[in-house]
Structure formats: structure tokens, C-alpha cells
Amino acid sequence: MSIRKRKVILGSVIFLIFLGIFATTIAQSPHDSMFTYARLFTDIAFRINARYVEKLDPKDLVYSGIRGMINTLDPFTEFLETKDYDRLMEATKGKYSGLGMTIFQKDGWITVVSPMEGTPAYRMGLRSGDRIIKIDGKSTKGISTEEASKLMRGEAGTKVKLTIQREGLAEPLEYELERAVIEIKTVPYYGFAEDKVGYIRFARFGTESENELENAIAELKNKGMTSLILDIRSNGGGLLTQAVKTSNLFLKKGDEIVSTKGRISDQNRTYEAKEEPLLPDIPMVVLVDGNSASASEILSGAIQDWDRGVIIGNETFGKGLVQQIYPLSNKTALKLTTAKWYMPSGRCIQKESRFHRWNSDSLANGITPPSEGDTSKTVSDSTKIIYYTKGGRIVYGGGGVKPDIEVERKDLSTLMLNLERLSMFFDFAVHYTTEHPDIPEDFKVTDEMVAQFRQFLKEKDFTYKNEIEMELSKMEKVAEKQGKTDELQPLFDQIYSQIEKMKEDEFSESLDEIKRSIKRDILTKLYGEKALYEQLVLKTDPYVKRALEVLRNKKEYASILKG
């Protein structure tokens, strides 16, 4: 053997030995032991698939394993299957191809809640309350709203046939609609709450949020707006980039809006306002509630930290986490929490109770879920970490964005909950407007209309149980089991009589809410979303009323921002 060949062989052996030592070191390193466990996971999956007593679907097997991993993480990390991924992309882009209406399932049938203005459904005259009984000849009886949506959506320019059953008409109506690209507005309404006080309803964050918000502000400015109410209640958030860009419409160039910090260095970033603001100084109120989350909290928190406006409403949701979307194979994706975000004051508003997934593992580790109805105020202000706005006002971390002015949030009564749950206001609006199609937009809900609503409830056999009645039902079962029914029946009858009186009182106590809900659904049915805001929200909403009070009182507005 030549010397050259010996050198090559020796070099190869040395390389293999070095590779073996390197591989062993890698395998033993805690940082890279993931490969060992991944091999274990794969080994188990293959053995189960090959030898389990019954035939399995490999997809179900692997997906369940993925969900098991996800369940050990925070509740905002998700494995997105195809339909979930598509829905997320649709919500982010704010566009889809279809007919343009909101639907729900009512009495086993797909029913139109409302068509969106300017869409094929709106132009063809579909109405709130229309029952879609067939889609392209296929009955909708018992199908889900998701399946119905899938049947009605499709490539723009293609057509779909709907068979509609409408109250007051004996025969079904046949419609042929051409699908179109539907844009989901992030700003569904803007106008004036009163003279020169602008109002913008900012409902969601998407790719067009900055443009829509900018257009609304520009139009209101051109019409003489001197102060603004920005309503982001129940805005569940969205794109971080849009949170930054929309905040820049109100904050000065160079102002820090938010920073992110993660385990990996590429997640550590600071976002600043890049442009001069569109509204640098006019008085401003931001309306928030417990469903204002994520990007909404970045926007409201940044405005609060820079003392740019007054925050009114309820403590926000408390989501200070950043997710990134990683597209995977088979049209799936991983939405993974990669960082926390921090406001200009340095506070992170993430609530600890929002960081855990409530399952058997978390309970075993002593982590308990918040109780029903809990707003996650688990820590008093006195024990929270204090931060300061740019003007020196105190704000707190770890508990959502706390408003400068709290508005009492009224919980729905048992009666109202059941009326809403069973869509009684919606059904009455459909019924009433069939008989009274010419109600003016500025109508008032009269005592006569309320009486008709009560009669409608009787005809619909509307019943509900309050908490006392539910507990009494349990007692009756115990009495029956112990053979004491006859003995206790007079007492039960007496209590039931009192319960009926209580229900009458509950109806009277809820009268204002009942009238408001009747008006809401009739307005939506006849005149659409614009009328709903102008005739109801801007005139009667307690949050808007409080905002107007603050904006009218310049001294109060200034004193709040001075702290």
C-alpha cells in the first residue's frame, strides 16, 4: 500500500473518530437533546401505527402528538390545521371571495344575520332574518355555519344559487348571486358623536388598518373635527406592525411605541414612530374594555404612556405576548409565542392568569384557572410594580391597560341572557318589520311595542329559569328521591309563585336594556350598521356619553393627563 493511500485511510479514520466524539457530545448536550426525544417520539409513533390492535389514521396519530406538545405551552400558541390557517390569513388580510353576509344557525337552518353593504348579498336584496334553505339545490337543514360558508364561498366571478324562505311570503325565493371579493372593514363606521367631536369605531387589526384609519381621520379633519373618540372595545388585536403604524397616527416621530424581548436575540426589537403624526395634539379619548387585547393594548397603552389621550372604560384583556406564524407542510402552520412586548414606560401588561393553559397538568402543578367572570384582577394595585408615563403619572404592569376613568360594566340579567341566547330580539325584529316595513330611522321603542314584544314571547313559548328556580328544581329531585314530594309540594308551589313575581320585577328592571335591544335589531334589520351607530351607540352608549363629558370639560381632560 502506498504512503499516499495510508495517509488517506488514516485521515479518514481520524475524521470518523472525531465525528463520533462530536456526535456523542451533541447527543449528550442538554441544548441539543431534542434530537434524542424527537427520535423517541418517531419510534413510538411508528410502533403504534404498525402494531396497534386496530387500524389507525397516521395523520390523527401525529396530530394528537403535536396537540399534546402545544398543550404544555401558553394558550396563544396553536397548531393551525388548513381551515384554521385559512381563517387566520383571511382575518389578517381582511378579504375573501364570497357573497358578503353574516349568518348563524337558527332552529336548525342557516339564517342571515345581516348582509354587508356593497356586497352581492346586499345588492340582490337579501335581508336580515332570511332563512337559506338551499345552496345550489342542497338543503341546509342541520348543516353547520362553517359548511354553509364553504358552499357559498368560491372564486370571484363564479355563481351560486340560494333558495330563501322569508317571513310573510308563502313561496320560497330563488336567487342567483355572483361571488365577489369581499373586504372586511377594520373601521366599520366613523362620523360625529356631536358637533366637531369625531367618533371612529376601530373593530380589528388587519393589513389595511392603517389606511382605513388614516382615511377616516382625514375625512373627519376636513369636516372640522376638533377632538376624537377612538372606540377599540372588543378589538381582539392582530398584526404587531399595524399596531405600530396606527399608533404612529397619534404619536410624534421618534416616539417609542413598543419593544419586544424574547429568548432568541432576533426577537429583541424596539419599534418607534417613523412618520409625523396625522393627529399630533387634538384632545382624544380611547374607549377600551375587557375584550380589548393584544394590538389594541399596544395602541391604548402607548397613548397612555405618552399622555397623548385619556383612556376610558374597563381594564383590558392583558395579553402582552408576541406570536409568529411558521407555515408548515400539508397547508398547516404553527402560531408560536416568541416574545413578550413592553410599553414605553417599561411595563408588560401580560396577566399571569392569561399565560397558562388550564388542563390537568397545570392543575397538578398548583396553577388554578380564574373563576367564571373573573377579570383577572388577581393582584391589587398596591402590590403591582409601578411605572411612570412620560408626564410622571403612575401606571401598573402585569394587569392589562387600566383606564384613566372606569365605566361600570353591567352584567346582563338572567332574563336578558336568555333573550339574547335564544335570539328573541332578532326574531321579533324580523316579525315586527314584516308588518311595519316603513318605521322611520329615528323611531322610539314605545310601550305598545314592548307589549307586542311580550305577546311575541308568549307565542314563542319563551321560558327561562333563574338561579333560585334552578336550585329549587334540584331540591324537588331530592324530595322525590326521599319520598317527601307530597309533604313539601305546598312549600314548592309557594316559592314558585314568588319566583314568578320576581321574574315580573326582572322584566321591569331590565326595561331599558330590552328597549335598547329591540331598537338595535330593528335598526340593523332595516337600515344597517350606520344607523345602528348614529341612532343608538352615539346617543345612548354610557362609554360614549362619559367620553363626551370629558371632552367637553377641558379642565377635567387636562387634569387627568397631568395626574
Does the pLDDT of residue 21 top 60, yes or no?
no
Dump the DSSP string for 60-117.
HHHHHHHHHHHTTS-TT-EEE-HHHHHHHHHHHHTEEEE--EEEEEETTEEEEEEEPT
**pLDDT 10s digits, 396-405:** 988 899 999 9
pLDDT of residue 70: 92
Q: What is the pLDDT of residues 70-82, one digit of tens each?
A: 999 988 899 998 8
As given in the structure block, the three cell numbers for residue 404 are 384613566
Residue-wise DSSP of 220-279: HHHTT--EEEEE-TT-----HHHHHHHHHTTS-TT-EEEEEEESSGGG-EEEE--S--SS
Predicted local confidence at residue 14, as pLDDT = 37
CA distances from 483 to 472, 475, 495 (A): 16, 12, 19
- pTM strictly above 0.85: no
Would you say residue 24 has pLDDT above 60? no
List the catalytic residues: 294, 305, 319
- Determine the Cα–Cα distance for residues 199 and 548; give it in Å rounded to an integer: 10
Q: What is the pLDDT of residue 19?
A: 40
First to last CA, the chain: 90
pLDDT tens sequence across 323-337? 999 999 888 999 999
Residue pLDDT, tens place only, 133-188: 999 999 999 999 889 998 999 999 999 999 999 988 889 999 999 999 988 889 99
Q: What is the pLDDT of residue 351?
A: 86
Which of 88, 311, 99 lies closest to 204, judged by CA?
Answer: 88
In whole angstroms, give the CA distance from residue 178 to residue 455.
41
Note whether 323 and 411 are within 8 A (CB): no
pLDDT for residue 9: 42
Taking each helix axis from N to C terminus, what angle separates 485-509 and 414-421, rounded to the nearest 10 degrees?
80
Which domains are present in the chain? Answer: 36-72 (no CATH), 95-183 (2.30.42.10), 189-360+381-407 (3.90.226.10), 414-545 (no CATH)
Contact between 142 and 180 under an 8 Å Cβ cutoff? The reply is: no
Residues above pLDDT 70, as percent of the chain: 89
Structure confidence at residue 23 as a pLDDT band (50, 70, 90): very low
pLDDT-based confidence at residue 519 (cuts at 50, 70, 90)? very high
Per-residue pLDDT tens over the stretch 207-237: 899 999 999 999 999 999 999 999 999 999 9
- Check residue 124 and give its pLDDT: 87
Q: Are strands 310-313 and 284-288 parallel, antiparallel or unpaired?
A: parallel
The predicted structure's pLDDT at residue 10: 38
pLDDT band at 382 (very low <50, low <70, confident <90, very high): low
